[in-house]
Structure 1
Amino acid sequence: MCDYKTHFKHNLNMHQLVHDAQGIHEKYKCDMCDYKTHFKQNLKRHQLVHDVQESHKKYKCETCDYKTHFKHSLKQHQLVHDVQGIDKKYQCGICDY
């Protein structure tokens, strides 16, 4: 049984894909480091880390040290600060994540 919990249904749906793919090796691998993923989009996003220096990340969280290349990633990250202390209403029933 999985104890994964999240504030967002989309995150739960994405998490459950991991269970659907268990036993299958990650299909997408970074050729510059050991990063592996089941999703092509995740690999593309990851590879930007290698393309751009850390100092060029222009979106910065005002609450913590988080930095990103993408405005939408910063908005998603800031939700963590907005919902702290609120019970997570979606949880995975398969793993402990």
Structure 2
Amino acid sequence: MRKGATEPDIPLEAVQSLLTRVIWQAVADLSVETYRTESERFFAGETFVEYCDILGWNVRRARDSLGRFVDSGSRISGNHLLTAAEMAAQRAPSIPAVAV
């Protein structure tokens, strides 16, 4: 007699947290030429729709909101959100302090 497959007992909050991280990684990947096409396909595809359903998000609103975020010039660095001003500050050459 074969035993039926059972789903693992994973809390919904853990799944939602993981999906949110995947989405933010895809947002970060939009700014990397190598990954941009794959990331754009993710946001246009059915997987993103399924993730939004699990997260309780309206797909159209999520796409619009993420699009506005990307268009704002803000980017994600690792797990941290960087505004356009912070990104510019990181690119500015640092001038070492001189002891007098």
TM range, smaller chain? under 0.3
Higher strand share: 1
TM-score (norm 2): 0.23
Higher helix share: 2
CA radius of gyration, larger in:
2
